[in-house]
Copies of this chain bind each other. A is one copy, B any other.
Amino acid sequence: MSKNKLIYLFSEGNKSMKTLLGGKGANLAEMMSIGLPVPPGFTVTTEACNEYYSKGGTITQDLKSEIFKALSKIEEDTDKKFGDKLNPLLVSVRSGAVISMPGMMDTVLNLGLNDETVKGLSKKTDNERFALDSYRRFIQMFGDVVLKIEHHLFEKQLDQIKKRYNVTEDTELTIEALKELIDSYKQITKAETGREFPQEPKEQLLLAIQSVFDSWNNQRAKVYRDIHDIAHDLGTAVNIQAMVFGNMGEDSGTGVAFTRNPSNGEKEVYGEFLLNAQGEDVVAGIRTPKSIDQLEKDFPKAYKQFMEVSALLEKHYQDMQDIEFTVENKKLYLLQTRNGKRTAEAAVKIAVDMYNEKLITKKSALTRVEPNQIAHLLHPQIDLEQELKVLTKGLPASPGAATGELVFDSNEAEELSSQGKKVILVRPETTPDDIHGIVAAEGILTTRGGMTSHAAVVARGMGKPCVTGCDEARVDLDNQELKVNDKIIQKGEIVSIDGSTGNLIMGSVKLTDPGLNEECQKLLKWADEIESVGVRANADTPEDAKKAREFGATGIGLCRTEHMFMGTERLPKIQEMIISDSEIEREEALEKLLPYQEQDFYEILKAMDGYPTTIRLLDPPLHEFLPNVHSVKKDLDKLINQYGENSHQVEQQRQLLNKVRSLEESNPMLGFRGCRLGILYPEIYIMQAKAIARAAKTLVDEGYTPKPEIMIPLVGHDKELVILKEMIEDVIEKHTRSEHEQKLYHIGTMLELPRACVTADEIAEHAEFFSFGTNDLTQTALGYSRDDAEGKFLAHYMQNEIIPENPFMTIDQKGVGELITTAVDKASRTKPGIKLGVCGEHGGDSQSIEFFYKVGLNYVSCSPFRVPVARLSAAQAALKLQEE
Contacts and interface: CB of A to CB of B under 8 A. Distances in A.
A676 interface: yes
Copies in the complex: 2
Given A667-B668, A679-B793, A755 B782 contact: yes
Given A780-B783, A783-B753, A671 B788 contact: yes
Interface string A739-756: 000000000000011110
Interface string A753-792: 1110011001000000000000010011111110111001
A882 interface: no
Interface stretch (A181-189, A321-329, A640-648, A811-819): A811-819
A670 interface: yes
A716 interface: yes
Interface in A813-844: 814-816, 818-819, 822
A672 interface: yes
A803 interface: yes
B671 A802 contact: no
Contact of A803 (B668, B717, B818): B717
Given A667-B788, A671-B792, A672-B788, A783 B755 contact: yes
Contacts of A800: 679, 723
A796 B788 CA distance: 30
A167 interface: no
A680 B753 CA distance: 28
A797 interface: yes
A719 interface: yes
Contacts of A755: 781-783, 812, 814-816
Contact of A787 (B667, B753, B789): B667
Contacts of A716: 782-783, 815
A720 B676 CA distance: 34
A819 B802 CA distance: 23
Contacts of A668: 666-667, 785, 788
B785 A670 contact: yes
B802 A720 contact: yes
18 contacts: A665-B787, A667-B667, A667-B669, A667-B670, A669-B669, A669-B670, A679-B796, A679-B802, A717-B797, A719-B801, A752-B783, A754-B782, A754-B819, A755-B782, A755-B816, A758-B815, A759-B814, A759-B818
A723 B802 CA distance: 9
Nearest to A666: B787
Contacts of A759: 814-815, 818
A714 interface: yes
Contact of A818 (B714, B758, B801, B812): B758
A759 B783 CA distance: 14
A120 to B, nearest CB: 56
Nearest to A762: B814
A670 to B, nearest CB: 4
Contacts of A818: 758-759
A787 to B, nearest CB: 5
Contact of A819 (B676, B758, B779, B793): B758
Contacts of A793: 672, 676, 679-680
Contacts of A719: 801-803
Contacts of A754: 754, 780-783, 815, 819
A762 B814 CA distance: 10
A672 B716 CA distance: 25
Contact of A776 (B665, B783, B792, B822): B783
Residue from A752, A802, A803, A818 with most neighbouring chain B CB atoms (10 Å)? A802
Nearest to A714: B783
Given A720-B802, A802-B720, A665 B785 contact: yes
Interface in A65-81: none
Contact of A788 (B666, B752, B812): B666
B679 A797 contact: yes
Given A665-B787, A666-B788, A672-B789, 18 more contacts: A666-B668, A666-B787, A669-B669, A670-B670, A672-B788, A680-B792, A714-B783, A716-B782, A716-B815, A719-B801, A752-B783, A754-B781, A755-B781, A755-B816, A758-B822, A759-B814, A759-B815, A762-B814
Contacts of A781: 753-755, 758, 780
Contacts of A670: 667, 669-670, 779-780, 783-785, 788-789
A78 to B, nearest CB: 50
Given A776-B783, A815-B754, A796 B680 contact: yes
Nearest to A761: B814
A779 B753 CA distance: 10
A797 B671 CA distance: 14
Contacts of A672: 788-789, 792-793
Contacts of A792: 665, 671-672, 676, 680
A127 B720 CA distance: 62
Contact of A666 (B669, B762, B812, B815): B669
Contact of A665 (B671, B752, B788): B788
Interface in A630-686: 665-672, 676, 679-680
Nearest to A676: B793
Contacts of A776: 783
A755 B784 CA distance: 11
